[in-house]
Every structure is written in structure tokens, then in C-alpha cells.
């Protein structure tokens, strides 16, 4: 029984790691802010989810699992909102820029 659990845990943690790496890679490689926001929020949230799943198998007490799930929920909520705000701010900057070199 534990071997299967152990195997599953490693797979989950590796998956989490993979998503974190792709998220940061996207952050570095993508051309403008909008695409970077996609990379960071989406990939890291999934990575964190997998990480939480893997770690909860490790400890198997429901308290720490509930706590980690709460943290994950909170990170997703704050990540999504700040991504929205940043994108909106960037769009406003671009609009001002295009307006200024439009009438120049």
C-alpha cells in the first residue's frame, strides 16, 4: 500500500515541479506583460495544486491538508485578481501611449 502511495506522491511532486518550471520559463521567455501574466498565474496555480496534493499524501493528517488547501485557494484567488488588475493597468498604459504618439 505505501509503495503505491509513495509512487503517487513522487509523481505528483514531480508534476508540480514541472509546472513551476514552465511557469517561470514562460515568465522569462514571453514577449509582453499579458502573455507573462498567463504563464505565471495559470502554471503556478496548477503547480501549487499538485504540490499540495503530493504533500497531503505525505502527512495524511486532515488538519494540515485542510490548511494547505486553504492556502492554495487563497493563492489562486489573489493570483487571479492581481493578474486582472495588472492586465488592466497595462492596457491603460498602452492606450495612453498609443493616444500620445497618435496625436504627436
The contact set with another protein (CB under 8 A) reads: 78, 81, 84-85, 88
Give the nearest distance from C-beta 81 to another protein in angstroms: 5
Q: At what angle do helices 2-29 and 44-59 cross, to 10 degrees?
A: 160
Q: How far is 94 from 100, CA to CA, in rounded Å?
A: 10
Between 62 and 74, whose beta carbon lies closer to another protein?
Answer: 74
Between 1 and 21, whose beta carbon lies closer to another protein?
Answer: 21
Which residue, 15, 25, 8, 7, is CA-closest to 49? Answer: 15
Between 35 and 81, whose beta carbon lies closer to another protein?
Answer: 81
Amino acid at each position: 500500500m505505501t509503495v503505491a502511495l509513495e509512487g503517487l506522491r513522487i509523481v505528483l511532486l514531480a508534476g508540480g515541479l514541472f509546472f513551476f518550471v514552465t511557469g517561470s520559463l514562460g515568465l522569462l521567455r514571453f514577449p509582453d506583460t499579458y502573455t507573462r501574466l498567463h504563464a505565471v498565474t495559470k502554471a503556478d496555480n496548477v503547480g501549487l495544486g499538485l504540490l499540495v496534493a503530493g504533500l497531503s499524501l505525505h502527512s495524511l493528517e486532515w488538519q494540515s491538508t485542510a490548511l494547505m488547501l486553504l492556502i492554495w485557494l487563497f493563492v489562486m484567488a489573489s493570483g487571479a485578481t492581481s493578474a486582472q488588475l495588472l492586465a488592466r493597468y497595462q492596457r491603460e498604459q498602452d492606450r495612453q501611449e498609443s493616444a500620445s504618439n497618435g496625436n504627436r
